[in-house]
């Protein structure tokens, strides 16, 4: 019998549009999922010729320049939201209303209120909805989860995570959407902090309280201008004349208490000179410690108590055929990278559709993460330990 087909409509022609396309392009061949994905249509707000060229380059059959029209199409089953944070709610609500399954990028929304509205909408519409915490999909992270669930770490004491980048340290870097609160919700907090908060919630458990701080180092930046205006700027010395206010954090850091007694520290910054995408965490338990760093993502660091004179961390290569999320890939030791995490993510979305269950991570996981981010932002304002609301 022919497999059920899932026609995808992807919103967004940027970084994530390309990354998600990689996922859809490779999932049928690599994972042979229970339903077959078809890359039906992509939309973007770029000029028509760019959207058309992007569709062709990334392997989409058709393109639309209006995302609303794409969501309304009867021949689309799954809407992929790979757009700036401020449109996630509007697009997810429209997709839910149209009865489509949804894969939405993180952070789920610009605010906790908005994330709650989105979860209600998908519950009411009874559609499957995933939040794109892609790093969960790395086999080494899945192995960590398996080890924790099997009790191999014993009692967990510490969770410690950093997510460090440096791409906006130049004061002439323009005021892109990620640096504007109405468009991004927050800065490093929602962009990078969301990933490490989710990792903590996934691996360790719920967070009850946080004490956090936010910092903006560069408060004014060149406003992005039209091509014609940029020509004029070059004529007056190569710098954009007009500056606008940065309304998000450049760095966020916080301490956390988990409901199960674990304590945690988190740091997310776009000002860690030399660090490009340094996403790293460690967990210390009574029987063992583990650690993972995305830039070396095929390995899990592992220390086990009782090594005697041969104590110390060892690097576990998470490419064993039994490692979760590895099976479809290559022979042991033939490592994978960033793109493959998106293939694994799409595989989970398709499997959830076939099995009639919510994907993992779900919109509710996105909401739980948003509750942590919201509490960190409130704590930074009041300079007090702040409860994370139950959601
Ligand atoms: N999972 C991850 O690891 C990861 C990594 C990067 C970004 N993200 C998330 O993915 C989302 C998109 O980020 P990106 O880096 O692809 O951004 P981007 O700026 O590269 O691309 C965004 C795209 O969205 C579309 N768009 C722009 N403005 C729009 C509007 N007003 N209405 C509708 N569509 C619009 C455009 O086609 C644009 O190309 C964000 O939510 C971001 O936080 C996730």
Best of 9, 10, 14 for a ligand 1 pocket test (most atoms within 8 Å of beta carbon)? 14
Q: How far is the CA of 318 from the centre of ligand 1 (A)?
A: 30
Q: Show the ligand 1 pocket: residues with CB < 6 angstroms.
A: 12-17, 44-46, 67, 82-85, 87, 105-106, 132, 134, 191
pLDDT-derived band at 235, boundaries 50, 70, 90: very low
Which numbered atom of ligand 1 lies nearest the CA of 86?
31
pLDDT above 70 coverage of the chain, percent: 96
Q: What is the pLDDT of residues 20-43, one digit of tens each?
A: 999 999 999 999 999 999 999 999
Q: What is the pLDDT of residue 239?
A: 55
- What band does 226 get if pLDDT is binned at 50, 70 and 90? low
Buried b (16+ CB within 10 A) or exposed e, 341-354: bbbbbbbbbbbbbe
**Predicted confidence band at 237 (pLDDT cuts at 50, 70, 90)?**
very low
The pLDDT confidence band at residue 1, using thresholds 50, 70 and 90, is confident
Share the mean pLDDT of the chain.
95
List, for residues 51-96, the tens digit of each pLDDT value: 999 999 999 999 999 999 999 999 999 999 999 999 999 999 999 9
CA-closest residue to ligand 1 atom 23: 12
The residue whose CA has the least distance to atom 25 of ligand 1 is 12
Residue closest by Cα to atom 7 of ligand 1: 16
pTM of this structure: 0.96
- Is 353 a residue whose pLDDT tops 90? yes
CATH number of 137-387: 3.30.360.10
At residue 5, the pLDDT reads 98
CA nearest ligand 1 atom 40, residue: 84
Q: What residues have CB less than 8 Å from 271, skipping those under 6 apart? A: 166, 168, 169, 217, 250, 251
- Determine which residue's CA is closest to atom 2 belonging to ligand 1: 134
Choice from 105, 276, 339 to test ligand 1 binding pocket (greatest atom count within 8 A of CB) = 105
Atom index in ligand 1 nearest the CA of residue 18 equals 16
- The number of the ligand 1 atom at minimal distance from the alpha carbon of 135 is 3
How would residue 233 be classed by pLDDT, with cut points 50, 70 and 90? very low
Q: Which fold has domain 5-135?
A: Rossmann fold (3.40.50)
Express each pLDDT in 124-181 by its tens digit: 999 999 999 999 999 999 999 999 999 999 999 999 999 999 999 999 999 999 999 9
The confidence score (pLDDT) of residue 224 equals 79
- pLDDT value at position 2? 86
Cα 244 to ligand 1 centroid, rounded to whole Å:
21
State in Å: Cα 153 to ligand 1 middle.
Answer: 37
Q: Report how far ligand 1's centroid is from the alpha carbon of 103 (Å).
A: 13
Among residues of the chain, what percentage have pLDDT more than 90? 94
State the distance from the centre of ligand 1 to the C-alpha of 1, rounded, in angstroms. 38
Q: What is the per-residue pLDDT across 272-290, written as a single tens digit (0 to 9) for each?
A: 999 999 999 999 999 999 9
- Does residue 349 carry a pLDDT above 70? yes
Report residue 238's pLDDT band, with 50, 70 and 90 as the boundaries: very low
Atom number, ligand 1, closest to the C-alpha of residue 51: 37
Q: How far is the CA of 45 from the centre of ligand 1 (A)?
A: 11
Hey, where are the domains in the chain? 5-135, 137-387
Residue 134 CA: nearest ligand 1 atom is 1
């Amino acid at each position: 019998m022919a497999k059920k087909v899932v026609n995808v409509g992807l919103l967004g022609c940027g970084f994530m549009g390309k990354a998600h396309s990689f996922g859809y392009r490779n999932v049928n061949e690599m994972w042979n999922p229970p339903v077959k994905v078809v890359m039906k249509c992509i939309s973007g707000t770029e000029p028509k010729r760019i959207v058309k060229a992007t569709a062709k380059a990334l392997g989409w059959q058709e393109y639309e320049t209006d995302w609303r029209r794409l969501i309304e199409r009867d021949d689309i089953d799954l809407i992929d939201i790979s757009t700036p944070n401020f449109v996630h709610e509007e697009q997810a609500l429209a997709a839910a209303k149209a009865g489509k399954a949804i894969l939405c990028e993180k952070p789920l929304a610009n605010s906790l209120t908005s994330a709650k509205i989105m979860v209600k909408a998908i519950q009411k519409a009874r559609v499957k909805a995933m939040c794109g915490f892609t790093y969960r999909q790395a086999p080494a992270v899945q192995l960590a989860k398996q080890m924790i669930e099997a009790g191999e770490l014993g009692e967990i004491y510490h969770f410690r995570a950093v997510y460090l980048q440096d791409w906006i340290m130049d004061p002439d870097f323009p005021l892109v959407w990620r640096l504007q609160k109405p468009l991004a919700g927050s800065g490093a907090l929602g962009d990078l902090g969301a990933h490490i908060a989710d990792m903590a919630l996934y691996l360790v458990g719920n967070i009850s309280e946080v004490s956090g701080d936010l910092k903006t180092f560069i408060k004014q930046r060149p406003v992005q201008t039209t091509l014609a205006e940029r020509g004029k700027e070059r004529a007056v010395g190569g710098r954009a004349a007009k500056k606008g206010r940065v309304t998000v954090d450049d760095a966020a850091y916080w301490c956390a208490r988990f409901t199960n007694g674990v304590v945690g520290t988190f740091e997310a910054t776009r000002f860690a000179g030399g660090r490009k995408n340094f996403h790293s965490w460690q967990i210390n338990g009574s029987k063992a410690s583990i650690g993972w760093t995305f830039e070396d993502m095929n390995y899990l660091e592992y220390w086990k108590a009782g090594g005697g004179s041969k104590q110390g961390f060892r690097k576990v290569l998470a490419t064993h055929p039994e490692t979760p999320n590895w099976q479809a890939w290559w022979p042991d030791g033939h490592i994978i990278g960033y793109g493959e995490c998106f293939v694994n993510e799409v595989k989970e979305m398709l499997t959830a559709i076939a099995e009639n269950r919510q994907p993992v991570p779900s919109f509710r996981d996105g909401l739980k993460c948003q509750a942590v981010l919201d509490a960190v932002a409130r704590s930074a304002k009041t300079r007090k330990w702040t409860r994370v609301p139950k959601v």
